[in-house]
């Protein structure tokens, strides 16, 4: 009888021990996944991240696959860029300073962009910094000028794939030394969104009063940051006037500036973007390793022409 009782106690102890072991194993499993998620979060937040390019706005320098019509295929086929997150945090802390002209950056889409209004959300997109705070920027016949310096746009045109449209920006009218109108057209999209269309060089429509709600929505900050009107500016006649990039802002553009080939929606359509909306600087293309029979891995360094831009006078 005593032996039977002892065996029962031993069996019960073994069962308890087995239950504890299973519980411990389950906790170890959960703890392992939790630690992995925490480490992954810390790496993505503070160390590095990778971002897939979707769409055609950065062609010919970045391939975005078939575009937003098939996001999954774009993420599989398009270029993937490397974002060092520590760089972002060091810049926000003021240690590394501002971003540079020519940098390729990931930016949260501004609330006043046409596509953000149509979608009702603000995803990140990828663009190139053209002007930094204090720079004077204008576009004449598709030629970009920064501080009166004409950018060599061969980094866009050399492949023959993209030819910038001959657009002007910003085109305004003035009277008595005050800006009174802006030459811009608004096309109504299916979502009842007024989409800005820039004027073609030499083919200007009538100026729209700057108090117009659509003008203020897209270009209120641009109009507020225009360069002083020169004394010889024509009266009530359209002309291109430099915009001065506000403090804490950047003027960004996509490399694809040919609308017929899915041209970029950028600062020409919603103004300079706030520096705080930049999610990081793309430093390299890391995927796919090969494209069209050639190595696709490469650093994303600013084209040489951006180093030649003088400081604003």
Taking alpha carbons only, the member of 302, 293, 176, 178 closest to residue 241 is 178
Distance CA 171, CA 99 (A): 27
Taking alpha carbons only, the member of 313, 310, 308, 311 closest to residue 152 is 308
Q: What are the structure tokens assigned to 66, written together?
A: 């078939």
- pLDDT 10s digits, 170-223: 999 999 999 999 999 999 876 788 899 999 998 999 999 999 999 999 999 999
CB 267 within 8 A of CB 252: yes
How far, CA to CA in Å, does 205 sit from each of 168, 200, 201, 242?
A: 12, 9, 11, 20
Least confident of 3-7, 147-151, 166-170, 213-217: 3-7
R_g of the chain, CA atoms, integer Å: 27
- pLDDT 10s digits, 238-251: 999 999 999 999 99
Q: pTM for this one?
A: 0.84
- Three-state SS at 244: strand
Maximum distance among all alpha carbons in the chain? Answer: 116
- Three-state SS at 109: coil
Taking alpha carbons only, the member of 94, 166, 98 closest to residue 129 is 98
């Amino acid at each position: 009888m005593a032996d039977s009782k002892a065996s029962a106690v031993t069996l019960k102890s073994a069962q308890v021990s087995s239950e504890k072991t299973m519980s411990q194993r389950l906790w170890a499993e959960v703890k392992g996944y939790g630690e992995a998620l925490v480490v992954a979060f810390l790496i993505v937040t503070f160390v590095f991240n990778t971002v897939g390019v979707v769409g055609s706005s950065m062609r010919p320098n970045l391939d975005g696959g078939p575009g937003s019509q098939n996001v999954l295929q774009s993420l599989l086929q398009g270029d993937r860029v490397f974002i060092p997150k520590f760089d972002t945090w060091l810049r926000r802390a003021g240690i590394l300073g501002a971003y540079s002209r020519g940098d390729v950056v990931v930016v949260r889409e501004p609330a006043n962009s046409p596509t953000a209004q149509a979608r009702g959300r603000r995803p990140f997109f990828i663009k190139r910094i053209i002007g930094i705070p204090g720079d004077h920027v204008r576009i004449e016949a598709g030629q970009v000028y920064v501080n009166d310096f004409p950018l060599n746009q061969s980094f866009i045109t050399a492949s023959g794939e993209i030819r910038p449209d001959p657009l002007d920006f910003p085109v305004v009218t003035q009277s008595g030394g005050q800006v009174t109108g802006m030459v811009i057209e608004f096309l109504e999209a299916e979502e009842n969104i007024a989409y800005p269309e820039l004027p073609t060089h030499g083919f200007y429509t009538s100026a729209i009063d700057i108090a117009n709600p659509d003008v203020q929505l897209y270009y209120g900050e641009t109009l507020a940051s225009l360069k002083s009107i020169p004394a010889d500016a024509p009266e009530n006649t359209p002309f291109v006037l430099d915009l001065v990039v506000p403090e804490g802002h950047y003027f960004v553009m996509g490399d694809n500036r040919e609308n017929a080939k899915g041209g970029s929606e950028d600062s020409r359509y919603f103004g300079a973007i706030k520096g705080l909306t930049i999610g990081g600087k793309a430093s390299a293309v890391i995927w796919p390793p090969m494209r069209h029979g050639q190595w696709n891995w490469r650093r994303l360094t600013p084209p040489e022409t951006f180093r030649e831009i003088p400081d604003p006078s």
